[in-house]
Amino acid sequence: MMLTKFFLFGKKANGSATIHSQLSAYLLPQKDFLTRMREERLRSERYETPLSLVIIDVNGLIESFVAGGSISGTAFFKHLAAVLRNSTREYDIKGWYQDGQVGILTPNTNEAGARALTRNLSAGLTHRFGSGGGEQDLSRFIRLASLPANGSYLAANGEKKEAKPTPPFARQYRLSFSDPGPSAMRYQSVKGGVAEVAVVSWPMSVELLTQEQVRKLELFLKRAVDIVGALVGIVLFGPLMLLIALLVKLTSPGPVLFRQERLGYLGKPFTFMKFRSMRTHCDPSIHRDYVTKLINGQNKAINKGTDEQPLYKITADPRVTPVGRFLRKTSLDELPQFFNVLMGDMSLIGPRPPIPYECEIYQRWHCRRVLEVKPGITGLWQVSGRSTTSFDEIVRLDLTYVRNWTPWLDAKILLKTFWAVISTKGGY
């Protein structure tokens, strides 16, 4: 590892030139590459086109060939630059993905096309450095991740093909967001003497971690405000929450709190709490059918208002109790979520946390509302239209909040939330 750092970070050994002088014409700096990676992902999600990322473990190659004495540092970087130049397309985006790892972004390329690229890279590395045993053995230094597509895409041979429908959210990002390090790349299993290219989940963790590092102070401030706000809310509304709990318990059999699995930041599941407003053992298919139509944009089928003043809510729901109907209209059923905020699963301000089956029918660009920021008790769409807003508009407002977040925007949304609750506009 010390030898790897010696070569990668601008020092010279045995007369070899630095990696930057050899590869600067082909590779973006890490920060710029991750920025492009984020931009291409957003474009891929919005237009439902495929996107692939191929990663080459330069650390492993250096330790295998330069440290082993089979090639000089100067020749190594010269050959690696030639492999990148000859195996990639002009519009592929090449840069430092992480320390000692080269990333190649291939827009509008699905997994099959990315596998073709890895074969070219492996053949090029083998030609330049030697096989190391087995024709495709050097593929152990390569891995790839792909986002799927709807519609059409360009295959590896340039032929236009129709893509299969986008898989559900859980399979698009695998929800684990694991990002194996170089050791996981180097020591993967070998079948029949040939190492197989590792296909991993899309590495959202690296991309978003970089964002978090840039906004570290802002996120710390937001979390501090969340903790203080949640404590103030619990103390301030404590007596009212006790009264509501008593009313819920006395007016219908069942628990006081409704607990449900929701998806939070980066798709992490957590237990979401609110005061129970429905009878127990209710059929969830009513909500599931409704939310499917809402997410799929079938607004006319679910509009309970007019064209001029739409209302996208389940009205006259037979599952809701009389007390529950009042709690929902005034949003008082949301008060237990102060405890979710205190535990760190939610924020005071942010997108509403979705139920897992909702995410299963999300379009890819919809997923960004749970990938970019913690969910919140209230948010920009709640104070901009509440139940009068279509789902696509909700997502756009959530993403607008993510892009433009400031402490002052949070303060403005909180003030508007108080008015929205008092006026019960958009409630039901």
pLDDT number for residue 136: 46
Q: Minimal CA–CA distance to 60: which of 113, 132, 145, 161?
A: 132
pLDDT number for residue 281: 83
Q: What is the mean pLDDT of residues 197-209?
A: 67
Between helices 204-214 and 30-47, what is the axis angle to 10°? 120
Longest dimension (CA), the chain: 83
Residue 425 confidence (pLDDT) above 70 = no
185 neighbors 143 (Cβ within 8 angstroms): yes
More confident residue, 208 or 6: 208
- pTM of this structure: 0.69
Instruction: Give the H/E segment covering residue 143.
Output: strand 142-147
Residue 249 confidence (pLDDT) above 80 = yes
Q: What is the mean pLDDT of residues 164-170?
A: 58
The per-residue pLDDT for range 375-415, each reduced to its tens digit, is 999 998 888 866 667 888 888 999 899 888 888 899 999 98
CA atoms within 13 A on the CB side of 394: 24
Average pLDDT, the chain: 79
Least confident piece of the model among 111-120, 257-266, 386-395: 386-395
* CA–CA dist 284, 317 (Å, integer): 12
Q: Minimal CA–CA distance to 179: which of 90, 284, 101?
A: 101
Q: What is the mean pLDDT of residues 249-278?
A: 92
* CA–CA dist 375, 349 (Å, integer): 7
* CA–CA dist 81, 85 (Å, integer): 6
pLDDT number for residue 426: 52
pLDDT number for residue 134: 44
Cα–Cα–Cα angle for 369, 375, 376, rounded to 5 degrees? 130
* CA–CA dist 184, 34 (Å, integer): 21
Least confident piece of the model among 118-122, 157-161, 245-249: 157-161
Contacts of 139 (CB under 8 A, 6+ apart): 118, 119, 122, 194, 195, 196, 197
The tokens for 108 are 């509008």
Provide Rg for the chain, Cα atoms. Answer: 26
The tokens for 330 are 């005034």
Cα–Cα–Cα angle for 11, 17, 19, rounded to 5 degrees? 75
Q: Which domains does the chain have, with CATH numbers?
A: 2-209 (3.30.70.270), 215-423 (no CATH)
Q: What is the mean pLDDT of residues 326-352?
A: 94
Contacts of 403 (CB under 8 A, 6+ apart): none
Q: What is the mean pLDDT of residues 288-311?
A: 80
More confident residue, 356 or 179: 356
Q: What is the mean pLDDT of residues 59-64?
A: 83
Residue 173 confidence (pLDDT) above 80 = no
More confident residue, 212 or 413: 413
Model confidence at 372, pLDDT cuts 50, 70, 90, reads confident
Residue 193 confidence (pLDDT) above 70 = no
- List, in sequence order, every beta strand (DSSP E) within 32-122: 51-57, 93-98, 101-107
The per-residue pLDDT for range 314-328, each reduced to its tens digit, is 777 888 999 999 999
Q: By percentage, how much of the chain surpasses pLDDT 90?
A: 25
19 neighbors 73 (Cβ within 8 angstroms): no
* CA–CA dist 171, 169 (Å, integer): 5
Q: What is the mean pLDDT of residues 63-76?
A: 76
Strands 160-162 and 152-154: antiparallel
More confident residue, 119 or 179: 119
Q: Length of the chain in residues, anyone? A: 428
Residue 175 confidence (pLDDT) above 60 = no
pLDDT number for residue 93: 94
More confident residue, 304 or 36: 36
pLDDT number for residue 337: 97
* CA–CA dist 179, 181 (Å, integer): 6
